[in-house]
Amino acid sequence: MCLNLMRLQTLRTFVFMSFLLSLFVYSCTPDTYQYNDKTNKDPYGLTYSGVGDVFEGNGFETSKAYLNTEVGQSVKYYFSSFTSGETDLGAPDYIVVDSINGSIILKGTNDLLPGDYSIGIMVKNFRNDLTMELQDDGKTIVTPNPVELAQTVFKDGFTFQILTNGVSNLDYIQKVQKAKPGKAFSSTTPKIEGSNPITYSLAAGTPSEFAIDKNTGVISLADGNKLAQNNYLLSVIATNEAGAVTFENVVTVTVAPAVDLELINSNFTPYNEVSYGKEKNDLGNMISFSVDEPTSTVMPFQSSNHRWTHGWGIWNQKVGSKKESFAIMIPNRSVQEDYLLFDYNVKLVDSENSRVILKYTHNWGVFEGLRFELVVTDNYTGDPSTTVWNAYPLVFDPVRLKMTTSEVMIPEFEGKAKVRIGVRSVFTVPAGKDVTVLTKNILVESVQVRAKQ
């Protein structure tokens, strides 16, 4: 009798502990617990931890997968699907699933917009069987032989949300921008960080003459406006789904008459006449290019008396009572086309009275067969021989070593942002003539670009 009572008490205790254990397991089961919707005797639960939502343009890496499996079984994990609502987003390369531990990486290179997303995970479970083979030498070889038992697809294996980035770092690049009194004006387009769409507006108190494009952030003034000459510090409000942010004094618009400015000037380095054999052909901010020579010999050559034999080079020449440094052009070929160009573009946006001022002269040789020109383009290809140039003939004073100053207006390039400027020397020796005697040497003292801005 006592034995039966003890057995009954033990059974009651076991049932009560089993009940408590079932409550504990139920209370620890995550809300995202997924069950296999395929035919499977023992469905798993797949969960992740440690990852919340992520802002647009960012990535994440989850914890390893937590999976309920039977003792003696192993699993592997595979990407199955990627969806947003009912939309299938394919298999993008910025999602990686670790086959061993099930962790998921969303790379920061993704282009996902704010919204809700689900990554489907396929789990394959295996029974870890072993195959044993007795060898002739009496040894036993044990070989793992995993047997696939089932495949389980968790359509919403991991869900996450891409959040909207708030706007930040509004930047008009050019902090001070110039407007002419009564003239139309448009600012540069600002850069900004944050999730699109972003809209722009001007802060309260901004003079009514200013307007802003709500989609681009470009600030403008209309032609004929009555805005007084002054410096105007403008504040801009940028808004997206995350809210509105006011950027105080983010750009200054200076309303003032145009001022005549030097935009660029050649800066030829004085030539060291005693450094023959070591001379650096320093053309400063200008570069030379010869159409009719291979690349390896584009640089001009020096002879034993330190002079350049041909091409553009630096040379000191006495003109009048003083010695100056010039870029000297010595053709010395029967057919020659050489360029001396500024090494970078000139910006003529919002410019007027744009012009190039050149100072130059000539020395030995004859003018027959020679063309000396200012060349300008707004579509430089990187190769002068393939670039389409506007050419402006330059005239010499007939007297040798007498300086000529030419001022060439280039209004057709006003409003252009990338204007390349230089000079071109073209020489063809008449048939039967001596190239050494006839080719004309050209000396350029300076090339200057000026404009009112």
- Does 209 reside within a domain? yes
- pLDDT of 436 reads 61
Window from 12-21, 102-111, 165-174, 384-393 with minimum mean pLDDT = 12-21
The CATH number assigned to the domain holding 424 equals 2.60.120.200
- pLDDT of 131 reads 78
Mean pLDDT of 205-214: 97
| pTM, full prediction | 0.54
Quick one: 362 and 425 in the same domain?
Answer: yes
The CATH number assigned to the domain holding 141 equals 2.60.40.2710
Instruction: For 117-135, write each residue's pLDDT tens digit.
Output: 999 999 988 887 777 788 8
- pLDDT of 271 reads 59
Quick one: 309 and 417 in the same domain?
Answer: yes
Mean pLDDT of 303-324: 68
- pLDDT of 20 reads 37
Quick one: 253 and 273 in the same domain?
Answer: no
433-437-442 Cα angle (round to 5): 115
- Provide the pLDDT confidence category of residue 31 given band limits of 50, 70 and 90: very low
- Does 430 reside within a domain? yes
Residue with the bigger pLDDT between 405 and 310: it is 405
Quick one: 205 and 146 in the same domain?
Answer: no
> Which of these, 415, 419, 442, 395, lies nearest to 264 by C-alpha position?
419
Mean pLDDT of 298-315: 58
Quick one: 116 and 240 in the same domain?
Answer: no
Quick one: 291 and 370 in the same domain?
Answer: yes
Last residue of a domain, one of 223, 257, 291: 257
Residue with the bigger pLDDT between 432 and 300: it is 432
Answer for the pair 219, 176: CB distance below 8 angstroms, yes or no: no
Answer for the pair 341, 286: CB distance below 8 angstroms, yes or no: yes
The rounded percent of the chain whose pLDDT value lies above 70 is 79
Over 50: is that where the pLDDT of 150 sits?
yes
Stated as kind and residue range, the H or E segment containing 234 is strand 230-240
Last residue of a domain, one of 163, 181, 200: 163
How high is the mean pLDDT of the chain?
Answer: 81
Instruction: For 230-272, write each residue's pLDDT tens digit.
Output: 999 999 999 998 899 999 999 999 999 988 999 999 977 665 5
Quick one: 253 and 272 in the same domain?
Answer: no
- Does 14 reside within a domain? no
- Does 353 reside within a domain? yes
- Provide the pLDDT confidence category of residue 11 given band limits of 50, 70 and 90: very low
- Does 22 reside within a domain? no
- pLDDT of 49 reads 78
Both tokens assigned to 239 = 């808004």
Residue with the bigger pLDDT between 129 and 110: it is 110
Last residue of a domain, one of 204, 236, 257: 257
Mean pLDDT of 357-366: 87
Quick one: 217 and 320 in the same domain?
Answer: no
- Does 80 reside within a domain? yes
Q: How many CB atoms lie within 10 A of CB 86?
A: 5
Window from 303-312, 328-337, 363-372 with minimum mean pLDDT = 303-312
Over 60: is that where the pLDDT of 116 sits?
yes
Window from 288-292, 391-395, 414-418, 443-447 with minimum mean pLDDT = 288-292
Mean pLDDT of 287-316: 62
In 94-229, where do the E strands start and end?
95-97, 104-106, 115-134, 140-163, 168-171, 176-179, 185-186, 191-193, 199-202, 210-212, 219-221
- Does 350 reside within a domain? yes
Instruction: For 51-85, write each residue's pLDDT tens digit.
Output: 668 888 889 999 999 887 655 578 899 999 999 99
Q: How far apart are CA 228 and CA 254, in angstroms?
A: 10
Quick one: 374 and 281 in the same domain?
Answer: yes
Quick one: 273 and 253 in the same domain?
Answer: no
Quick one: 202 and 271 in the same domain?
Answer: no
- Does 412 reside within a domain? yes
Number of structural domains, the chain?
A: 3
Quick one: 286 and 431 in the same domain?
Answer: yes
Boundaries of domain holding 291: 262-452
The rounded percent of the chain whose pLDDT value lies above 90 is 50
Q: How far apart are CA 265 and CA 367, in angstroms?
A: 27
